[in-house]
Structure 1
């Protein structure tokens, strides 16, 4: 039933948003060389890979890795891409993924094929059995501010508490998060955050070793 409702809602959204798709597509083509859509291999349900769609926000030739793995990531973002990323409009083509059956509206965000740590953490707690979503519990509870462990903890909460009521709450809160552009970090900021977290964990481990 959930999958059927997702497909119906997505078809309606695709029809309603088709003028916006055309406008955004024209702006992208006028703003930079390259295709309108950006495709990427992501991890889906049961760790199966699928082709993931977004509006292109990066320059052609940008390394196909997570943004936090890029040095000076802002230099790769196109002018129109800055607006699309800030408003999360670049995520709209994932409606096509829902219609294809790769994704749903609400679920854990699909990891990149080479985000091995996140894949392993999710698999350990059973999150990999869920179909990935455009938005999810982790998205409204930190988004880019979350590291892989925090994302997995939020995803596990959703796995154990999923319901139509929770989905409705996540969608409602997502709208406000998007309007406020909350939780969006660029690559350099994410990298600095992850390095700080790594240092804190290393220090904690050293203290545990000394206490033993």
Structure 2
């Protein structure tokens, strides 16, 4: 990765306080749902409930991201195949979780740990960081902020399967725009739009 510089979003103590409050509140609110999802995943396919994968975070630091397992595989190596529409690897329960983005809920623990923020650039698998870092000169600039559960790219349609390098270029441009123009007001607007998109995001599969 290239050298990094600090950013206003990364330095803001207010953002960290809000992250902790939102993550704790959401975990308390959704605790029964988390238990039900964990049971459904285990009963349907056995194996681990939580999917773990290494991702690149703030200033290029690698961390382990948590998700509910939605597939029959758990890839975390030099070659990671993205989920596609109708992907045979996705389980029946997993398809529902992915459609409603419920598989992302365990990342609230990543937020509490300080690995992630509620709002920020979505982190990618390490294999994809290497692939697109070589293609897009500004790719590593997105590591100036903590990765997020949701972000400016996601509410503008840059989510899900990457069918071409241009899709990633659009995502990276949105991520860097978010970092350069960050404010708490922008975070609130992104969260509000994310909430409206949960049940009708065509890119969630």
Relative to the length of structure 1, the TM-score reads 0.79
| Aligned residue number for residue 29 of structure 1 | 42
Residues 66 and 112, structure 1, Cα contact 8 Å, conserved in 2 = no
Q: Identify if the C-alpha distance between structure 1 residues 162 and 66 changes in structure 2 by more than 3 Å, giving closer, same or farther.
A: farther
8 Å CA contact 1:145, 1:184 repeated in 2: no
> Which residue of the partner structure matches residue 144 of structure 1?
160
Question: What is the CA deviation profile of residues 183-209 of structure 1, one whole-angstrom value per residue up to 9, with x for unaligned ones?
Answer: 235xxxxxxxxxxxxxxxxxxxxxxxx
SS at match of 1:138: helix
Partner of 1:52: 65
For 1:158, which of 173, 178, 188 is the aligned residue?
178
Q: Find the partner of 1:118 among 132, 135, 144.
A: 132
Indicate if the aligned counterparts of 2:58 and 2:147 stay in contact, CA closer than 8 A: yes
Residues of 2 paired with 1:132 and 1:84: CA distance?
21
Task: Give the Å deviation of 1:176.
Answer: 1.6
Q: Deviations over 1:43-62 (max 9, x none)?
A: 10111100000000001x45
- Alpha-carbon offset, residue 66 of structure 1: 3.8
The structure, 1 or 2, with the larger RCO (C-alpha pairs under 8 Å, 6+ apart) is 2
**Structure 2 contact 150–194 (Cα < 8 Å) conserved:** yes
CA RMSD between the two structures: 2.0
Query: What stretches of structure 2 of length at least 5 have no aligned partner?
Result: 1-13
The gaps in structure 1 that reach 5 residues or longer are 186-212
Corresponding residue for 2:8?
A: none
Moved over 6 A (4+): none
C-alpha change, 1:114 and 1:17, in structure 2 (3 Å) is: same
TM-score (structure 2 length as normaliser): 0.82
Q: Give the distance between the partners of 2:184 and 2:38, measured in 1 at CA.
A: 33
* CA deviation after TM superposition for structure 1 residue 141, in Å: 0.8
1:99 alignment partner in structure 2: 112
8 Å contact kept, 2:153–2:174: yes
Higher helix share: 1
Q: Choose the corresponding residue for 1:132, options 140, 147, 152.
A: 147
